[in-house]
Amino acid sequence: MSISEGLVAWPTDLVARYQSLGYWNGKTLWEHLWAAAQKFGDKEALTDGDTRLTFNELVDLSDRLAENLLEREYGSGDCVVVQLPNCWEFVVLLFACVKIGVIPIMALPGHRKNEISYFVEHSGAKAIVVADEIRGFDHQAMAYDVAKGSPSVHDIFVVGKTDVPGSVDLRQLISVPPTSKETRRLIDAVAPDSQEVALFLLSGGTTGLPKLIPRSHDDYGYNFRQAAKVSGCDESTVYLVSLPASHNFPLACPGLLGTLYSGGRVVMARSPEPEQCLSLIAKERVTLAAVVPAVAQRWLDAKVDNPNYDLSSLELIQVGGARMAPELARKVRPILGCTLQQVFGMAEGLLNFTDLDAPTDVVCDTQGKPMSPGDEIRIVDDDDLPVNEGEMGQLLTRGPYTLQGYYRAPEHNARSFTADGWYRTGDVVRWHPSGNLVVEGRTKDLINRAGEKISAEELENLIYHLPSVAQVAAIALPDKRFGERTCAVVVMREGCRPLSLDEICTVFDSIGVAKYKYPDQLEILDALPSTNVGKIDKALLRRQFS
């Protein structure tokens, strides 16, 4: 299938405006790396354990891989599902793909067959890129299981042991001899246009499986350049990637892309566990890290328990992915000794940051202000009419890095966008007197568990795989560790014994559902309460079980 058939085009007037204002500069993601390499050359760019790559080496390795992908007949518009842990190979692969127009779909390490199969089917992906295993799970075997049911998949690329016949060793493709000038010209000849799709991010999935979010070179380049600016990134920045690198937050807010663009150094951590990350901060003299509130809480606890962690290099910690409790925010500077920057945003576009020099009450009580002068904001009621100043309402937005539509999702797009092109974020917000936004909740039925967005509808549909279930309601409950935990409230079919949480998890495992979507809590009722119009009263259930 042609990738263009499922895309919603940017209006020509907006394209012209964003170009004239300099938001879109006509450069691809690869050209941003190339420019940084021209300036910073032999400066260290990427640290992953014992592997240390300079800017020049990162460019060279990406060129080598791009050449091999071309030889294997990968090119413009081909999609590949990328499911890798935080590793140097992820960065090399990303830049190799965007240089030749191959489009990576940014799957998360926690996704399983259920999600990966959907990404492949929806995009017609030509390859799946996986680690051999992550935390004891065999991703290589899963990829082959997915490929059996997909005629579009030609290759399984593996980082690690290639035990299955036919697997392609990604590291071997990266380690071919340096490219020749002729090869360099060939690669340059197939370079994509800056308005083409660079990569697909994933939505939070409010109505089923995640939607694919097309991000162009122009809009995503502006995303990380502007985020780097408001975060104070420069060549002295040492950025710790502790959240999954395929997430928008650690990828480009400013993330690893904004750090490399600025000439800084990126340090990869395999997980956000405090013991690993706080040790890395000390060892690598990290200056900037990004976490979700649940991880921030664990880092704070770890530092209190072990005051000997040397965090003297840490200048700034960004917290996003979910609203941070003000009482937790107020602990950051006294315990970690660094500035807190709250970040409220979405993979679909709009990003908000608190100012680096903002007063304590603004930093702790708000979620930031739009990072770009090109960001447009409306806060409206249920009839799309503006609310009064300071009142809560639904957040609508559009701007130079906010999508025009999800990929191949016309029905969803009709619900997610106004007739004049404003994106319905699903967030309920209000303006703070400081000019920052305060996030008050969600209009969509979404569970935000440690920064991972889980569709209540998807979870309910999965639980209905159990034949003993007559009715189910998935709800979010407050949780000290995760921010929100997932609770499944179930009504059993007549004559069936009560279900156990272990039974649900066993079925989810057999289906191949991401672990973070497993229910944390199960409640059995004789009947689900309903509202006056006959809908399940989830508000009542939340009050009952909180």
Dihedral pair phi/psi, residue 195, rounded to 5°: -90, -5
Q: Please answer whether residues 325 and 293 qualify as being in contact, where contact means their C-beta atoms are separated by less than 8 angstroms.
A: yes
Spatial distance between the Cα atoms of 440 and 449, rounded to a whole number of angstroms: 16
Q: In this structure, are residues 355 and 330 in contact, taking their beta carbons and an 8 Å threshold?
A: no
Q: Are 8 and 405 in contact (CB under 8 A)?
A: yes
d(CA 125, CA 82): 10
210, 261, 430, 278: which is closest to 253 by C-alpha?
261
Domain 446-545 part of CATH 2.30.30.60: no
Question: One digit per residue, pLDDT tens: the chain, 546 residues?
Answer: 678 899 999 999 999 999 999 999 999 999 999 999 999 999 999 999 999 999 999 999 999 999 999 999 999 999 999 999 999 999 999 999 999 999 999 999 999 999 999 999 999 999 999 999 999 999 999 999 999 999 999 999 999 998 788 899 999 999 977 566 676 677 778 899 999 999 999 997 545 688 999 999 999 999 999 999 999 999 999 999 999 999 999 999 999 999 999 999 999 999 999 999 999 999 999 999 999 888 998 999 999 999 999 999 999 999 998 888 888 899 999 999 999 999 999 999 999 999 999 999 999 999 999 999 999 999 999 899 999 999 989 999 999 999 999 999 999 999 999 999 999 999 989 999 999 999 887 776 778 899 888 878 789 889 988 999 988 999 999 998 899 999 999 999 889 999 999 999 999 999 999 999 999 999 999 999 875 545 678 889 999 998
Distance CA 280, CA 47 (A): 11
- Relative orientation angle of helices 55-71 and 181-189, to the nearest 10 degrees: 70
Q: What is the pLDDT of residue 454?
A: 87
How many residues belong to the chain? 546
SS3 content of the chain, % helix, strand, coil (to 5): 35, 25, 40
Q: Which of 217, 135, 103 is nearest to 93 (CA)?
A: 103
For residue 64, how many C-alpha atoms fall within 13 Å in the half-sphere facing its CB?
Answer: 17
Say how far apart CA 30 and CA 311 lie, in whole Å.
33
Instruction: Tell me how far apart the alpha carbons of residues 151 and 102 are, in angstroms, rounded to a whole number.
Output: 19
Query: Would you state the pLDDT for residue 1?
Result: 63
The domain 221-442 is placed in CATH, from the list 3.40.50.1980, 3.40.50.300, 3.40.50.12780, 2.102.10.10, at 3.40.50.12780
This prediction's pTM: 0.87
Dist CA 39 CA 50 (whole Å): 25
How confident is the model at residue 179, as a pLDDT?
Answer: 61
Domain ranges of the chain: 29-192, 221-442, 446-545
> Is-same-fold flag (29-192; 446-545)?
no
In this prediction, residue 207 carries a pLDDT of: 53
Task: Give the right CATH number for 29-192 from 3.40.50.970, 3.40.50.980, 3.40.50.2000, 3.40.50.300.
Answer: 3.40.50.980
Please report the DSSP string for 69-86 in residue order.
Answer: HHHTT--TT-EEEEE--S
